[in-house]
């Protein structure tokens, strides 16, 4: 089955409308949905919300990057909900990122968890928020059972999603007994100077 970008945008626009009613009680404004190449965007972003998308009607836009098109519609829609949480905060004058570094703060975490039904990993911003999110069981149930959309259109796989997965596999995390963490793109064999134990590999 041949799927084009227009079909993906149509389905995501429909999903946005439906989730706006289900999760955000129809409080969000209608906006534009776009799909863009990942080649010129930072590696840790799957999508972004633009409050002022450059449209003459003054509307906002959510853009999904091609690295997110991994064939898993749960992942794609969860990313959309992440950006809808940003949209909600913007439309309600809630600052959810830090001006100095753009990291998510506790305000984002509150909206993403309570309204977006997302799990938020609290391991990025020192101010209590997290940039990495995943769908809760409740959100997965809603996506699978409450939404009406063409799943086939969101099962398309872009080569950027394959490339990004390969990049992820090159990151290694090491932890010593006193809790210090080292991350590296190559394998290491080192000792901790404080607890005098070898850093052990936790993930690949």
Q: Mean of the pLDDT values across residues 131-148?
A: 95
Q: Is the pLDDT of residue 39 over 80?
A: no
Q: Tell whether 150 and 176 lie within a shared domain.
A: no
Q: 166 pLDDT exceeds 50? A: no
Give the pLDDT confidence score for residue 190 in this predicted structure: 81
Q: Do residue 92 and residue 138 come from a single domain?
A: yes
Q: Are residues 121 and 145 in the same domain?
A: yes
Total count of domains within the chain: 2
pLDDT of residue 20: 98
Q: Are residues 154 and 174 in the same domain?
A: no
- Say whether both 190 and 112 belong to one domain: no
Q: How far is CA 73 from the centre of its chain?
A: 13
| Res. 54: pLDDT tops 50 | yes
- The residue ranking higher by pLDDT, 149 or 182, is 149
* Same-domain pairing of 128 and 85: yes
174/128: higher pLDDT? 174
- Could you tell me if 34 and 64 are in contact, meaning their C-beta atoms sit under 8 angstroms apart? yes
Residue 89 confidence (pLDDT): 98
pLDDT at 184: 74
The pLDDT of residue 130 is 54
Segment 112-139 shows an average pLDDT of 80
Domain that holds residue 187: 170-203
H, E, C per residue of 124-158: CCCCECCCCEEECHHHHHHHHHCCCCCHHHHCCEC
pLDDT score of 160 more than 80? no
Q: What is the DSSP letter of 168?
A: H
Confidence of residue 116 (pLDDT cuts 50, 70, 90): very high
Kindly state whether residues 135 and 186 are assigned to the same domain: no
Q: Is the pLDDT of residue 113 over 70?
A: yes
Say what percent of the chain tops pLDDT 70: 85
* Averaged pLDDT score across all residues of the chain: 85
Q: Are residues 81 and 122 in the same domain?
A: yes
User: Average pLDDT, stretch 82-102?
Assistant: 92
Looking at the structure, tell me whether residues 133 and 161 fall in a common domain: yes
pLDDT score recorded for residue 41: 60
- H or E element: which one contains 163? helix 159-168
Are residue 187 and residue 110 in the same domain, yes or no? no
DSSP per residue, 3-33: --HHHHHHHHHHHHHHHHHHTSTT-SPP-EE
Q: Which whole number is the average pLDDT over 22-34? A: 97
Same domain flag for 160 and 174: no
Predicted pLDDT of residue 204: 46
CB neighbours of residue 37 within 10 Å: 11
The reply to whether 11 and 45 lie within a common domain is: yes
């Amino acid at each position: 089955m041949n799927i084009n970008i227009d079909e993906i945008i149509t389905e995501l626009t429909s999903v946005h409308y439906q989730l706006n009613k289900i999760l955000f009680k129809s409080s969000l404004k209608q906006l534009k949905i776009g799909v863009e190449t990942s080649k010129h965007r930072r590696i840790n972003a799957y999508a972004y919300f633009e409050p002022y998308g450059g449209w003459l009607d003054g509307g906002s836009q959510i853009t999904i990057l091609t690295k997110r098109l991994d064939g898993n519609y749960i992942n794609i829609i969860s990313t959309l909900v992440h950006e809808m949480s940003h949209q909600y905060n913007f439309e309600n004058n809630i600052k959810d990122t830090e001006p100095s570094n753009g990291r998510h703060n506790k305000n984002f975490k509150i909206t993403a968890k309570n309204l977006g039904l997302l799990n938020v990993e609290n391991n990025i911003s020192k101010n209590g928020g997290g940039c990495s999110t995943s769908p809760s069981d409740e959100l997965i149930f809603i996506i699978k059972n409450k939404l009406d959309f063409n799943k086939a259109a969101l099962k398309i796989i872009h080569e950027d999603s394959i490339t990004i997965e390969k990049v992820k596999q090159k990151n290694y995390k090491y932890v010593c007994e006193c809790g210090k963490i080292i991350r590296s793109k190559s394998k290491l064999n080192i000792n901790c100077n404080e607890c005098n134990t070898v850093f052990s590999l936790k993930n690949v």
